[in-house]
Structures are given as structure tokens and as C-alpha cells.
Amino acid sequence: MDVTIVIDEESRHVINNNKLCTALKRIGVKFIPVSHKDLEKVFVSLEDMGFFEDIKPSKYRVFMDTEELLYKNWPTPLVRLKNLSSSDRTIWAKLEGFNPWSMSVKDRIGWYMYREAIEKLGKDRVSLLVEATSTNTGLAIAAMSAINKSKLKAFVPSTVSKTGEILLKIFGAEVIRSPKLLTVELINDVEEIAKKEGAIHLNQFYNDANFEVHLRYTAKELELQIREAGIKPKAIVGGLGTSGHISAISFYFKNRFKGVKIYGVVPAPSTSIQGIRRVETGMKWIHFVELDNIIEITPEEAIEGVLEIVRNEGIFVGLSSGAVYTAFKKMVKDERLGEGDYILIFPDIGFKYVEQISRSIDKE
């Protein structure tokens, strides 16, 4: 990568590439190559810049606290789905349910947004938090609140399951249920309450720390994993909620892997699948990146996907993971996806959704 940052010899200030310099720092490089004015640009590898150094799992899995248990345990597993793969297509699943708090991809953003708030405002100011959530982000922020001795008021839409509400309460959050159907519809009310009560609203839907943590860790660690396994991804499939994780993955992989396709998954019109939602309900980062297709899945298809995964591979993933798997199967058929390696991002575990899934089981 050609990233020489040029500095002015007298003032010692950076005179070009200021934005690149900031961006590189934010996604975790340890060193930035600097040259003096008029010197030739040099090629510096990402390894030399310490680009991958923030992903260093604890070798013997000993952690100093439950916050380290999150970020020093990354990467989350990337596993070949042996029985669901075919002779020409290999399916790899990234299991975000292996995150320790909410058992979902949302631990990453809960941790990062919270840490950034402490850095900006100081720990004392971050004592009461309010957030609109469909469970997982609320659990992650509640975990950070427990670790940092603060309090969370979680605002959930009517569509959130009883299990979700109970889990939030178990984690110590106060739960306020709204008659509205979508989490994103609660943001304005939550913002008002934050102002009135002097609370911190991290706001997963607009906070760029959401996109950034996935760029800095989720996407980067996935690259390390596929390098290690010798995988050349043909496509990556993931669900769209805030659009944080799949937008960051798209941005990263489209820039670094030529020809890789990225697919987003949403619920079919007038249906709901916990954790994902339709693009027209408003998403931020998806509009800055390229997606190759958006696939619509019904809740029934999502459940069928979950059952097919658990009954072939013995791993019980959540409804949005089932939706991602079914979407992949549709893409294989509709776009005649050829041979190669495919990566599916599975956002959480299935144990949270037994209520919904049991209704299908009863019909079998």
C-alpha cells in the first residue's frame, strides 16, 4: 500500500493525506510511514504498519476481565459447513454467536460505542444510557453497563419476543416496551428522553463507531482467517439491520479482493425477522458502499434455514442466520453461483428464538 504521509520540515505538520492518516489511525494501524517533503513515495505493507496487530487472541484463553474476554477472544470462529457444502461450493460460516455477552455480532458495537463515549465524555458522565434495541444491542450495552457500573434503559418495539425482554431484565436493564413495530421508529422518542434525563444515547443506527468497529475488527479478522485457510471468497452474505457489519465488510472486501460479491438479506415485504429489516425503513452505511443484490426472505424460510443448519451441522443459530443461509441457497439458484468458497455471516445463536421456532416444530 502506498501510504507515505508527507510532513513539512519546518512546521513538522502533515501536509498531505491528512484524511488517510486519520482513517488509518482509526482502523488501528500502529505505525504510519512518514517522509519529508519531496522525497519519493514508498510501498509499505499492511503488516509493516501493524495493521493486523489489534487482532491477537489470547493463546491460552486466560482473560483479565470479561471485557478482555470479548476483544482478546477475536476472531470469532469461521467454520466450514461440511454437510451443507457440495463438491463444487464450500460454505464457510462466521459464528458471531461466539461473542460472550449478547452471544451476537452486537457485542462488538456495544463495546466500541460505549468505550468511545467514555473516551470522549469521561466515565462519570456515562452513568445512565438509553437505547432503542431489538434485544442484542441492548444486551451488549447492558453488559458494558454491568462492567462499568452504569445503568441502561432499553426501549424495545412490540415485535420483540418475551424472551428478549426477559434477557434484557436478567442483564439488569430497565425495559420499556413501545407499541411501535420497528426499533428504528423509537429513535426520536429515545433521543427526547436522553435530553430530558441527561442520559447517553449511543444510537446504534447513526453512530459511526458501529461501522468502524466492523471495519477495524470484523472485516480485518475475516481477512486473516481466509488467508490462513487459503480461502478465496466468491461471495459474502449477511443480514441488514443497522447495516453496520455488512457495509463495513463490503467496503473492506470490495477494496481488497477483486470480484468478490456481497449480498444483503432483508425480511420479505410486511414481514418481520428479529434483527434485520427492510432498506426503506432507513439505514445509514449501506448507502456509502456497494452491494451486489438484496435478497428477501420470509420468517418461515428463515426458520427452515435454521432447522436445516442445526439438523445437518449440529449448530443452533438465530433467525437472521437462517435467513442468510436460505438467501444464499436462493442466490445459488437464481444467479447460478459457480464453484468456490462462500462466506455466510451468522449474527447470533438460536437459543433466544425457541418461542418462534417451536411454533413451526409443532406443525411438523
Query: Which residues are at the interface with ligand PLP (CB under 6 A)?
Result: 104-106, 134, 136-137, 239-246, 275-276, 318, 320, 347-348
Q: How far is the CB of 202 from ligand PLP (least distance, A)?
A: 13
Q: Tally Cβ neighbours within 10 Å of residue 49.
A: 18
Q: 3 or 27: whose CB is closer to ligand PLP?
A: 27
Q: Which of 94, 93, 50 is nearest to 74 (CA)?
A: 94
**Residue 352 carries which side chain, given as an amino acid letter?**
K
Q: 49 or 278: whose CB is closer to ligand PLP?
A: 278
Instruction: Yes or no: say if 211 and 308 are a contact pair by the CB < 8 Å rule.
Output: no
CA distances from 361 to 157, 161, 252, 260 (A): 26, 17, 39, 37
Distance CA 338, CA 89 (A): 7
Q: 265 or 331: whose CB is closer to ligand PLP?
A: 265
Q: How far is the CB of 2 from ligand PLP (least distance, A)?
A: 31
Q: How far is the CB of 64 from ligand PLP (least distance, A)?
A: 28
Q: 4 or 171: whose CB is closer to ligand PLP?
A: 171
Instruction: Yes or no: say if 318 and 104 are a contact pair by the CB < 8 Å rule.
Output: yes
Task: List phi, psi (to 5°) of 10.
Answer: -80, -55
Position closest to ligand PLP via CB? 275
Q: How far is the CB of 161 from ligand PLP (least distance, A)?
A: 12
Q: How far is the CB of 276 from ligand PLP (least distance, A)?
A: 5
Distance CA 364, CA 361 (A): 5
First-to-final CA distance of the chain:
55
Please tell me the total number of residues recorded for the chain in this structure: 364
Q: 3 or 156: whose CB is closer to ligand PLP?
A: 156
Q: 276 or 303: whose CB is closer to ligand PLP?
A: 276
Task: Please state whether beta strands 78-80 and 89-95 pair in parallel, antiparallel, or not at all (unpaired).
Answer: antiparallel
Write the DSSP assignment of 279-325 as a string of letters. Answer: GGG--SGGGGS--SEEEEE-HHHHHHHHHHHHHHHS--B-HHHHHHH
Q: How far is the CB of 49 from ligand PLP (least distance, A)?
A: 27
Q: 55 or 240: whose CB is closer to ligand PLP?
A: 240
Q: 4 or 108: whose CB is closer to ligand PLP?
A: 108
Residues 6+ apart with CB under 8 A from 192: none
**Torsion over CA: 313, 295, 293, 113 (sign):** negative
Distance CA 213, CA 217 (A): 6
Q: 102 or 150: whose CB is closer to ligand PLP?
A: 102
Q: How far is the CB of 151 from ligand PLP (least distance, A)?
A: 22
Q: How far is the CB of 157 from ligand PLP (least distance, A)?
A: 12
Instruction: Yes or no: say if 35 and 4 are a contact pair by the CB < 8 Å rule.
Output: yes
Q: How far is the CB of 86 from ligand PLP (least distance, A)?
A: 26
CA distances from 324 to 75, 76, 127, 223, 275 (A): 20, 17, 37, 20, 12
